[in-house]
Structure 1
Amino acid sequence: MAHVLVIPYPAPGHLFPILDLCNQLALRGLTLTILVTPKNLPLLKPLLSLHPSTEALVLPFPSHPDIPPGIENMQELPLSFIPSILSALSKLHDPVLKWFQSHTSPPIAMITDSFFTPWTHPLACRIGIRNVVFSPLNAHGTLGLWNALENGLKACENFVVENRAIDKVSWGVICNTFNELEEEKLDHIKRKVLGHDRVWALGPFLPIGNDPLTASKKCGGSSILERHFAWLDSCRVDNSVVYIGFGSQITLTRHQMNAIADALEVVA
């Protein structure tokens, strides 16, 4: 079986989708090793219990002066800590290299986060394997975030330049979407952004175990989601529901929530 090393970014909106991708790859016979730090290991248990060919590579979370001890997931930090998390995670380069060099059947490829693992492409080049980046977003969202990173996050300026360059030189890109929905956007990424055809639409991914509540259970909120499903099922009129998502780490002020509510009321 082909052996692939998977390196997620430790934030809910990135980690869970790449684990759902891992589930699909394992179902198709790939051997996977997933890099995690100790406090994130429990999040892999549903996947590891289903697939004996999948294992975790557990490495200590590297220390960083700006990150409080014991924190290993962006869910516990505001977005301003992204540069610190990236700096800390980049120190995993040498331990992963050492693991690879000592492995009796090392990986032939890597799958890494498209946005927040810039240190992984130099690692792939060093060990001589291909690096495929994974976007947890659809093609439209991927393009939007690439543009936003290039134009907006001043605190991450150096990272943005480095990471966007890596996206372009990585061997391929996986998007969480499907061709029938976004063929035009996918073609744009191939022709105008990357200049090659190694862009794959492999979603949308079902949660591990094909349980629509699994993703919520991973965050401990299944009862809330069940109530939301019941409410959605009661909406029988076409185009009667508008879904707005801000990601797993955005906290709106009351003023912002009121402004959104006012705008939606005008549209309605």
Structure 2
Amino acid sequence: MSTTKSKTKLHIVAYPYPTAGHIIPLLDLTHLLLTHGLNVTVLVTPNNVHLLEPYLSTHPSSLKHLVLPAPDITPPPHKRLLVNVRALRDLHYPILLQWFQSHPSPPVAIISDFFLGWTHHLACELKLPRLCFSPSGAFAMSVAFSMCCDPPKNNDPDEDINFLISLPKVPNSPTYPWWQIPPQYRNEFEADPDWEFYRNSMLANFVSWGIVFNSFANLESVYFDHLKREVGHNRVWAVGPVLPLEGDLIGLATRGGASSVPCHELMTWLDAQLDHSVVYVCFGSRVVLTSKQLNVLVTALECSGVHFILCARVPDDQGSTLNRFKDCVGDRGLVIKGGWAPQVAILRHRVVGSFLTHCGWNSVLEGLISGVVMLTWPMGADQFTNALLLVDQLGVAIRAGEGTENIPNSNELARLLVVSLDKIKPQNVRAKELSDVALSAVKGGSSDKDLDELIKQLADIKKLE
């Protein structure tokens, strides 16, 4: 990334949605802003303060944080996101209003997660620009905007789960079976005040002053152009991947948390393998595999003969399945329980050749910049859109499964695991090409230029005060 310093000492607030997958990329962006000479105050809930620690030690004078209380609620599972978003607004809005109004040197802008669209109204009250930070890509954001404007409808959602939803206003007109539509966008909740609040909060993202993406221009150019037309201005910046580069001070081994297998043990095992011979399997820190998914996965890994690292969360009653599996495969694989691994460090190792992933956007970018081919098995949220982008539009991935509806046959999955390590396959060639493009973007290319332009426009606002 460019290290040009901003001449004006700007102070901004960064407000992530309080889950690790949303906090970490916004903290990585915060790190970049701090290296450009800005002051940043990060808003964080008590159980996530630990995620700030490596950044605080790297930027002791320019990075501050404000600890906000976490909502004390137990939402029903089918409405968890809707209720959490509204509870955060009700709890934090008055606290933040008072904090801004009493601060001796208040921030000149707010950058907040796209789940916190209601901060646009806070920014308006404070007469400040609000930037929406999207931890998802431009394609996924285009899909979300379309679904918020025109919520998908299905007259018989319980029976017709394969009812096709088409989004003709989004480039390439993507279609989805009903079961892939995230619950927060379905018309089933139309009379629900929590649903209406969430929808309005998401729509507020598109009338905010600007949108910042953890993505890069050449990855999703058609969707960036589309969003600029939709919002009616060019304050749409692609500054990613906002990942630590080699040698960065933010430690890769402890990034986001501790693994059940220490990083040095993982690296020692990887160092002993042949180049491009290992499949890394991970479904993120939140997905809990069903018993059927787990059984298909471990059978495929066992039958394939490939070397692998498996990182997974499993049902409480399936721990013995993993233990038996570890005994069967011996030294051919490593199993990390709990869903958290030093993923960036693993993917960048020379021996990792492919990545079986749930297609969360952080994982997508980490896979792309590492140059590994991906096997896609999306589980929910924007992951089906991300898989569509990887497989059908970018050609860097191979479709393996889809949620609990399309669980692959274990023999077919075993075949795909082997095929994914074939260096001459088109997906492997394309993955290396896109890795080079991604690295170029953050080493003086389009993402660096967008970041510099973003800071310049914020500095211009500061001058007008």
* Distance of 1:188 and 1:30 partners within structure 2: 30
Match of 2:290 in 1: 253
Match of 1:137 in 2: 136
Match of 2:213 in 1: 175
Partner-residue secondary structure (3-state), 2:43: strand
Match of 1:236 in 2: 276
- RMSD of Structure 2 on Structure 1 (CA): 3.3
Match of 2:204 in 1: 166
* Distance of 2:222 and 2:254 partners within structure 1: 31
Indicate if the aligned counterparts of 2:86 and 2:197 stay in contact, CA closer than 8 A.
no
* Distance of 2:146 and 2:253 partners within structure 1: 28
Counterpart amino acid of residue 128 in structure 1: K
* Distance of 2:253 and 2:205 partners within structure 1: 27
Q: 1:195 aligns with which of 208, 214, 232?
A: 232
* Distance of 2:78 and 2:58 partners within structure 1: 33
Q: Greater helix percent: which structure?
A: 1
Residues 1:162 and 1:50: Cα distance change in structure 2 (over 3 Å)? same
* Distance of 1:227 and 1:163 partners within structure 2: 42
Indicate if the aligned counterparts of 1:62 and 1:88 stay in contact, CA closer than 8 A.
yes
Task: Please list, as runs of the form range in 1=range in 2, the aligned pairs for 1:1-268 lying within 5 A after superposition.
Answer: 1-51=9-59, 52-64=61-73, 66=74, 80-90=79-89, 91-114=91-114, 116-146=115-145, 150-151=151-152, 152-154=182-184, 157-191=195-229, 193-207=230-244, 210=248, 214=252, 217-221=255-259, 223=262, 227=266, 230=270, 234=274, 236=276, 247-256=284-293, 258=296, 259-260=407-408, 262=410, 264=413
Counterpart amino acid of residue 56 in structure 1: H
Q: Which deviates further from its counterpart, 133-142 or 30-39? A: 133-142
Indicate if the aligned counterparts of 1:4 and 1:32 stay in contact, CA closer than 8 A.
yes
Counterpart amino acid of residue 163 in structure 1: S
Q: Count residues with an aligned counterpart.
A: 253
Counterpart amino acid of residue 88 in structure 1: A
* Distance of 2:238 and 2:201 partners within structure 1: 21
Counterpart amino acid of residue 69 in structure 2: P
Indicate if the aligned counterparts of 2:43 and 2:67 stay in contact, CA closer than 8 A.
yes
- The CA deviation string for residues 58-81 of structure 1, in whole angstroms up to 9 with x for no partner, is 2222433x26xxxxxxxxx96742
* Distance of 1:79 and 1:54 partners within structure 2: 37
Residue 10 (structure 1) shift: 0.5
Partner-residue secondary structure (3-state), 2:262: helix
Counterpart amino acid of residue 86 in structure 1: V
Match of 1:72 in 2: none
Residues 1:204 and 1:261: Cα distance change in structure 2 (over 3 Å)? farther
Indicate if the aligned counterparts of 1:5 and 1:32 stay in contact, CA closer than 8 A.
yes
Bigger CA radius of gyration? 2
- The CA deviation string for residues 98-157 of structure 1, in whole angstroms up to 9 with x for no partner, is 01111111111000001x113211100000000001111232333345556754324663
Counterpart amino acid of residue 253 in structure 1: T
Indicate if the aligned counterparts of 1:112 and 1:120 stay in contact, CA closer than 8 A.
yes
User: TM-score, normalised to structure 1's length?
Assistant: 0.80
Indicate if the aligned counterparts of 1:79 and 1:249 stay in contact, CA closer than 8 A.
no
* Distance of 1:252 and 1:148 partners within structure 2: 28
Greater relative contact order (Cα 8 A, min sep 6): structure 1 or 2? 1
Indicate if the aligned counterparts of 1:16 and 1:215 stay in contact, CA closer than 8 A.
no
* Distance of 1:215 and 1:266 partners within structure 2: 31
* Distance of 1:147 and 1:57 partners within structure 2: 34
Indicate if the aligned counterparts of 1:5 and 1:35 stay in contact, CA closer than 8 A.
yes
Residue 225 (structure 1) shift: 9.4
User: TM-score, normalised to structure 2's length?
Assistant: 0.48
Residues 1:146 and 1:211: Cα distance change in structure 2 (over 3 Å)? farther
* Distance of 1:215 and 1:144 partners within structure 2: 34
* Distance of 2:143 and 2:244 partners within structure 1: 25
* Distance of 1:44 and 1:30 partners within structure 2: 17
Residue 54 (structure 1) shift: 1.1
Unaligned runs of 5+ in 2: 1-8, 153-181, 297-406, 420-465
Residue 85 (structure 1) shift: 1.9
Residue 261 (structure 1) shift: 5.3
Counterpart amino acid of residue 128 in structure 2: I
